[in-house]
Amino acid sequence: MSSNGDNDSDSVGAVRDDDSVHYSDGDNNILNGHRRRSASVDVVRRPVFGEEGERGGGESQGQEHDPNSWGRPDSWKDLPMAKLDAPKFCSRLAMFTSAPVTILVGPQKITFNIPKDVLCHHSRYFDCCLNGVFKEARENQVNLEEDSVEAFQLIIQWIFTGNLALPWDLNVPGQVGAILGFLKLADKLDLLGSLCSVTDSLRNILIASRSRLQTRTSCQRTWGPWTPCRGHPEVWQHGTPLTYCIDNSIDLDPLRDNAITAQHIRTAFELPYGHEARSIIVNACVSSYLLTGTAGSGWGPPFKFQNEVDNIEGFSTELLEAVRKSVHLLALQNNHNALVIDPLTAANLSI
């Protein structure tokens, strides 16, 4: 495989235990990441994502494949190469020496030369293009001008290694965007195998980001969370100053650190209805929606993504449905607050 595009990410191996994520610093030093639903996490270096073997479709006898899981493995021959045991992997080594095909990616048409049999084994899209009656089969070339080079690089890394390694200096919004871009292209290419570990990692990144946000304050003044901060005045849409300092409060908008952006929501809603990543993005917005003024609380700024609620088809419906599922567990307390379960973190929200 060759590419004339630049790729600064060096190779990082898979390091996973059950239901956990680890990080590699590029020097083979392993930093334990948080477990799912963790309350805190150290500084994130390079996330390394890999599937557990049982999520690759299941090689155990008699195990029925879940039609709702992502991917389409129904026997060991339909498993991604990276998920095969050593004897079965070696039996299919001829794939790697098959004739290369040319893939042109992005507006600049960055060229990738990849063994044809490997691509066709892992993607129905490439299988149809390169083994059918289409022009791509005659020219031995596929054009993906509308797709991201970065997302395609992750696709190729996943096909050959079963892991994703993001650049160590990528911030949280960048990590979320990269994973969503990968999942969007994987859906288009009908990529073989389960992607549960990737969506789990997306959830874990957002939970870790929120945990860091809840324990961090950048305001060193003595103003309390519900008294005016003259050093960091936040302003409503009508010019009315808020009565709290957003940098000195741990109870306010959990999306204020831009871990999720409007572009993330747009990308998530290009995935099919019911996709796990789409649900994760919606669930990550629930507490923000409830803790801001949009939900009818009468205080606070408007919901950060109100424009997306109004303009992205399906977002408002799925957001309100997620809110309903959270609030149906509501229990009134003696102080007349309501207890709501955050669908992303499973933590209690005091409304």
pLDDT 10s digits, 180-205: 999 999 999 999 888 999 999 999 99
What residue has token string 């630049």? 6
Please report which confidence band the pLDDT of residue 213 belongs to, taking 50, 70 and 90 as the band edges.
Answer: low
- Count other Cβ atoms within 10 Å, centred on residue 217: 14
Residue 318, both tokens? 């799925």
Encoded amino acid at 269, one letter: F
Residue 313, both tokens? 């088809």
Give 127-148 pLDDT, tens digit per residue. Answer: 999 998 899 999 999 999 999 9
Report the pLDDT value the prediction gives residue 92, as an integer from 0 to 100. 83
Comparing C-alpha atoms, which of 233, 255, 259, 264 is closest to residue 302? 255
Angle between helix 149-161 and helix 172-189 axes, rounded to 10 deg = 70
- Count other Cβ atoms within 10 Å, centred on residue 151: 22
> Where, residue-wise, is CATH 3.30.710.10 in the chain?
2-195
Residue 121, both tokens? 């084994």
Report the pLDDT value the prediction gives residue 209, as an integer from 0 to 100. 86
Asked if the 2-195 domain carries CATH number 3.30.710.10, the reply is yes
Positive or negative torsion for Cα 85, 89, 90, 91 = positive
- For the cut 50, the answer to whether the pLDDT of residue 86 exceeds it is yes
Please report which confidence band the pLDDT of residue 88 belongs to, taking 50, 70 and 90 as the band edges.
Answer: confident
Residues of the chain with pLDDT > 90, as a percent, come to 39
Give 257-281 pLDDT, tens digit per residue. Answer: 688 999 999 999 999 999 999 999 9
| Maximum average pLDDT range among 24-28, 161-165, 253-257, 275-279 | 275-279
- For the cut 50, the answer to whether the pLDDT of residue 243 exceeds it is no
Report the pLDDT value the prediction gives residue 195, as an integer from 0 to 100. 92
- State the Cα–Cα distance between residues 13 and 244, nearest whole angstrom: 46
CB 31 within 8 A of CB 25: yes
- Count other Cβ atoms within 10 Å, centred on residue 6: 8
- Count other Cβ atoms within 10 Å, centred on residue 309: 18
Is this model's pTM higher than 0.85 or not? no
Q: Which of 39-53, 97-111, 210-224, 306-320 has the lowest mean pLDDT?
A: 39-53
- State the Cα–Cα distance between residues 88 and 79, nearest whole angstrom: 10
- State the Cα–Cα distance between residues 322 and 104, nearest whole angstrom: 40
Strands 46-50 and 163-165: antiparallel
Give 34-44 pLDDT, tens digit per residue. Answer: 333 332 222 23
Please report which confidence band the pLDDT of residue 159 belongs to, taking 50, 70 and 90 as the band edges.
Answer: very high
